[in-house]
Chains A and B, each alone.
Chain A
């Protein structure tokens, strides 16, 4: 049995798993990019919120994703006496991690923004809003875009952990197929190819953007 025959024979299951993975990703990415960006900007402007965000980020950085997932899935729900669909548990845990990952990237970029560009805008008669729209936001966006893309690729790969709390995403589907036919080389190669197809273009885009924008934003 070849990799392609695995695709041909189990494409329905694999596609269903891929759909769950992408749904999970869509939630994690949206929550992370929207809430993380807002939190990052707020954290850069207000010192107290900035410190609070740093502390939470520091603590989250010290907890392995797997431990967080398991803790939220078993002891936490047991303490509360509730049963939550593992898809939602995984969505929450990974979103939380992504929010603070994005927050860190945005907060650093906003806090470190060279103020002289804004002073130059002011003496050229530009309003605060014009300076934000035409100077600050585009420069910060160019700076954060490559690391944000890299972070989102990492989060996509982290969705695999959701399989360990019984979310029927693609890795769990692959495991089930393997349990039936025991063809680990072909099955996990097929899985790897699927991830490469999604991750490589994103990684390539991040590297290209980094090279292009870093060059244009350097002082000399």
Chain B
């Protein structure tokens, strides 16, 4: 489980995270919703330790990270990994190479790498465009490749930063089906999204962030009966 408490991050005098608590459980989806500038991406970056918080505590499967950190921290990657909003696929490599490179760097044998790439490519329907470069495929295809790359090293937790923002409804629906499948397999997911329909139907836990704080949180039912006026206004917008 990823268990974060009291996360705080201040940039140029502004508190982007102001004492946030968050939990990502194995086999569950935590959805993070809220207005732009509310701190969603900052929270994801803090939880993934790509941009550690200034203060707070993050426990990942029993390993404690205290901030401000004393000395160098041992990062939790790729056990905890991220799919970014812009995907950040490496542009000089084909999609196949994008998926295979982390495996190669992890020291896996060529046969094992080929097997995993083939399995992921089959799972996400990528066979047709696997040997193209990122700039030669659509946003939806890039997103599938980014997801496959993140899953190649079999992480326990996957954090997704608005990866549906460039997709149409049909593509987003396909992605959500994949996420539900990953949840069934026991993966812990944190999803920043504006697709509230999916959150209402499928999220196990919802965090509503506003101005760097958790304005409301709980089971997905909070979207049906919001307790705070702020969430009511957000849902009505």
Contacts and interface: CB of A to CB of B under 8 A. Distances in A.
B110 interface: no
A139 B153 CA distance: 24
Contacts, number: 72
A134 B98 CA distance: 10
Given A216-B135, A217-B92, A126 B50 contact: no
B105 interface: yes
Contacts of B91: 117, 139, 216-219
Given A134-B101, A215-B135, A218-B135, A123 B50 contact: yes
A122 B50 contact: yes
Given A119-B50, A134-B105, A139-B90, A124 B150 contact: yes
Interface string A173-189: 00000000000000000
A123 B135 contact: no
Interface in B101-158: 101-102, 105-106, 133-135, 139, 149-150, 152-153
B133 A120 contact: no
Contact of A116 (B88, B102, B105): B88
A213 B133 CA distance: 11
Contacts of A217: 91-92, 135
B82 interface: yes
A202 B89 CA distance: 31
A176 B89 CA distance: 58
Interface in A132-163: 134-135, 138-139, 142
Nearest to B91: A217
Given A117-B88, A138-B92, A127 B105 contact: yes
Given A116-B86, A139-B91, A220 B105 contact: no
A62 interface: no
A139 B92 contact: yes
B90 A117 contact: yes
A116 B84 contact: yes
B48 interface: yes
Interface residues of A, number: 24
A217 B92 CA distance: 6
A19 interface: no
Contacts of B135: 215-220
B186 interface: no
A134 B97 CA distance: 11
Contact of B77 (A122, A135, A215, A216): A122
Interface string A86-127: 000000000000000000000000000000110111111111
Nearest to A133: B105
Query: From DSSP, what is the main secondary structure of chain A's interface residues?
Result: helix
B48 A123 contact: yes
Choose among A125, A126, A220 the residue with the greatest number of B CB atoms under 10 Å from its CB.
Answer: A125
Interface string B42-86: 000000101000000000000000000000000101101110101
- Interface size class, chain B: 20 to 34
A126 B102 contact: yes
Contact of A135 (B48, B90, B106): B90
A126 B105 contact: yes
Interface in A194-219: 213, 215-219
A31 to B, nearest CB: 28
A212 to B, nearest CB: 11
Contacts of B48: 123
A215 B132 CA distance: 12
B65 to A, nearest CB: 15
Contact of B92 (A116, A123, A216): A216
Interface of A: 116-117, 119-127, 130, 134-135, 138-139, 142, 213, 215-220
Interface of B: 48, 50, 75, 77-78, 80-82, 84, 86, 88-92, 101-102, 105-106, 133-135, 139, 149-150, 152-153
19 contacts: A116-B88, A117-B88, A119-B50, A120-B90, A121-B102, A123-B82, A124-B78, A124-B150, A125-B77, A125-B81, A127-B105, A134-B101, A139-B92, A216-B133, A216-B135, A217-B92, A217-B135, A218-B135, A219-B91
